[in-house]
Amino acid sequence: MPFIQVTLGAGRTDEQKQQLVRAVSKAAAEAVGVPETGVRVWLVEVPAELVMAGGQTLAERTAAAGQAPG
């Protein structure tokens, strides 16, 4: 039974998050040949102020780009 944790910066809509876990679940089931009922997927959201890449937080990067966090 696959256990899959997806960690992402906060800021996605509930619909986007639901689409993501559904797509990951389906792909994992197909990849390892198990029924989708045997796959466990969960999301961990990290505040945009606590995700850093290239010396900038996600909040700083999205603010500079004029976008919503995430």
What are 52's two structure tokens?
Answer: 């850093």
CA atoms within 13 A on the CB side of 41: 17
Q: Among this protein's residues, is 69 annotated catalytic?
A: no
- 26: helix, coil or strand? helix
What are 55's two structure tokens?
Answer: 């010396």
CA gap 36, 45 in Å, rounded: 23
Tell me which residues are annotated as active site. Answer: 2
